[in-house]
Structure 1
Amino acid sequence: MPPSPQGDGGTSRPPLLEIVVPARNEEGRLPGGLLELCAKLARMPFPTAVIVVDNNSTDRTAEIVRAWPRGPVPVRLVPCETPGKGAAVRAGLLGTSAPFVGFCDADMATDLDAVDLALGLLLSGERVVIGSRAHTGSHVQNRHSKVRELGAYGFRALAGALVHGVSDTQCGFKFFDGVLAREVAVLLRTPGFAFDVELLARCVERGSAVREIPVRWRDMPGSRFSPARHTLGIVLELGRIWVRLRAQPRAAARPAWEPPLDPVGYP
């Protein structure tokens, strides 16, 4: 059998790219998602690695990662006790060391072929590359209700006031220059659904443009989001982000995390 492109076990050289997968109670979707992600990364002509962040799961999520077989793409577990996808992504990004980093959802709703384009743009000098379901070149399979679609439209309008020119802040497929991602992750204070908005806004305030790319995206079953239960909390989160970004001199004196309004955030 020919050797993998990444060498023996993927450990001979440090990774050029690390991908974070936030996970809460994902024992059903995580094995298939990791198989798909590792198969994609194993075909890369350079070392890569995966970090799964266990966000207080009560099922076998952590056990699945600990027992993951050794292969060309190392997979390691990072625990995160603070509830919320934003908290989990923050912990994962701070656990990276690669020149390029990214994160994607455990359900792999975004087709992983987009990794090639994202990394190519990073290598050419872009510092923030994100998947956008609103891109004219994207193919989106969407089974959401009309109520949820209306809520998404309202969210995009509010998020656009904080991150100008970005059409889709919430697609769970984002890649960054590693140094920038770690600098920004230290500052993140939003643990829930709207964390992407703060993440991108802080990248922009450091002079990094956000490059949106087309994706193939599938609406996967198992979403925990409910417009009736979560809309108010999300609006309040966006308000907090707006205030926080405009109170930079006092930001350093704030606690590392504010009490989450709602730990929602997982697809």
Structure 2
Amino acid sequence: MPPSRQEDERTSRPPLLEIVVPAFNEEARLPGGLLQLCAKLARLPFPAAVIVVDNRSTDDTARIVREWPQEQVPVRLVECPRPGKGAAVRAGLLTTTAPLVGFCDADMATDLDAVDVAVGLLIGGERVVVGSRAHDRSDVENRHSRVRELGAVGFRALARRLVNGVSDTQCGFKFFDGSLARQVAARLRTPGFAFDVELLARCARLGFPAVEIPVQWHDMPGSRFSPARHTTGIVLELGRIWLRLRLEPRRGEQPAWDQAPDPIGYP
């Protein structure tokens, strides 16, 4: 069935909201995730679009995006040659042009009803809105091992030293004023797991602390995070962020990626 006139107008107008989805070998989870996300965005009262960032996938991730039907919600592909989730999110944010932007994980572990809350707060004047599994009104289904839960507690304790007032820096559901997100993304230098900490810390340094909102979150299979393999690298990554923010380069100096090995790209 050909698209209706209303659908044509919706896809031809510039989006008010763009959502970045980083993807590394997500051929199994991406189709279902995109179906959910596009269905949600199609119900919004304004145009929205999706940017999938293919992070050097070796499966059919890129083909899935290229062949995705462009009906009510445009979906476009961005290639990111630098490995790591932080690198992928940065690349996606820097290609946005919309007044409001955000990113979420390909598995859609966070219930997308939270999009309405995040967008409402941004329209109301907030600049940074993040989902928090630690919020007292969040509903979290967690099947992680005890070891991983203890690791998360330790990570949050370290992250709070860098991002005051944020109880959960790692929930993959964050929304921003578009101009702020692009300004901060241009200075991001953390390509791996802890990039969220640097992102939120930089927003706070500019005077825009994050507002946390409750979420419904379901633990999804397919996580690549291993406490045994990745804990040391993540602690080192947090240390580099702390040092970098203390020794901020002169204004106007172009940032460069860390040359240290990426401890983990995707949780």
TM range (shorter): over 0.9
The one-letter code of the counterpart of 1:57 is: S
The 1:263–1:31 alpha-carbon spacing in structure 2 relative to 1, beyond 3 Å, is farther
2:100 corresponding residue in structure 1:
100
Q: Partners in 2 of 1:238 and 1:90 — Cα distance?
A: 18
How well do the aligned residues superpose, as a CA RMSD in angstroms?
Answer: 1.7
Separation (CA, whole Å) in 2 of partners of 1:6 and 1:126:
30
Where structure 1 has 5 or more consecutive residues not aligned to the other structure, the ranges are none
Would you say the 8 A contact 2:30–2:106 is kept in 1? yes
| CA apart distance, 1:199 | 0.1
Aligned to 1:110: 110
Deviations 1:136-159 (A, max 9, x none): 000000000010000000000000
Distance 1:111 1:260 in 2: 35
Deviations 1:115-163 (A, max 9, x none): 0000000000000000000000000000000100000000000000000
Q: CA deviation digits over 1:154-190, x for unaligned, max 9?
A: 0000000000010000000000000000000000000
Contact 1:6 1:47 in 2 (8 A): no
Q: How does 1:209-228 map to 2 (within 5 A)?
A: 209-228=209-228
Q: Does the 8 Å CA contact 1:22/1:106 hold for their aligned counterparts?
A: yes
Output the amino acid matched with 1:89.
V
Contact 2:234–2:263 (8 Å) recurs in 1: no
Q: TM-score, normalised by structure 2?
A: 0.96
CA contact under 8 A between 2:11 and 2:71: conserved in structure 1? no
Q: How does 1:59-138 map to 2 (within 5 A)?
A: 59-138=59-138
**Residue of structure 2 equivalent to 1:37:** 37
Other-structure match for 1:193: 193
Residue equivalent to 2:239: 239
Query: Corresponding residue for 2:166?
Result: 166
Identity percentage over the alignment? Answer: 77
| 1:260/1:81 CA distance change after superposition, 3 Å | farther
Q: Which amino acid aligns with 1:151?
A: G
Distance (Å, rounded) in 1 between the aligned partners of 2:230 and 2:210: 27
Whole-Å Cα distance in 1 between the matches of residues 179 and 223 of structure 2?
32
Q: Distance in 2 between matches of 1:241 and 1:4?
A: 49
CA displacement at 1:4 relative to structure 2: 7.5
| Number of residue pairs the alignment of both structures matches | 266
Q: For 1:197 and 1:219, how far apart are their aligned partners in 2?
A: 21
Contact 1:9 1:73 in 2 (8 A): no
In structure 2, the CA distance between the partners of 1:251 and 1:27, relative to structure 1 (3 Å rule), is: farther
Give, in whole Å, the separation in 2 of the partners of 1:32 and 1:113: 16
Partner of 2:176: 176
The letter for the 1-side match of 2:94 is L
CA distance change for structure 1 residues 216 and 5 in 2, over 3 Å: closer, same or farther? farther
Give 1:260 deviation, angstroms: 4.4
Contact 2:233 2:263 in 1 (8 A): no
Distance in 2 separating the partners of 1:143 and 1:101: 30
The two structures have a TM-score, normalised by structure 1, of 0.96
TM-fit CA distance, 1:95: 0.5
Tell me how far apart the structure 1 counterparts of residues 103 and 110 of structure 2 sit (CA, whole Å). 11
Q: Does structure 2 conserve the Cα–Cα contact (< 8 Å) formed by 1:4 and 1:43?
A: no
Q: What is the Cα deviation at residue 13 of structure 1? A: 1.0
Q: Which amino acid aligns with 1:41?
A: L
> Gapped runs of 5+ residues in structure 2?
none
Contact 1:4 1:42 in 2 (8 A): no
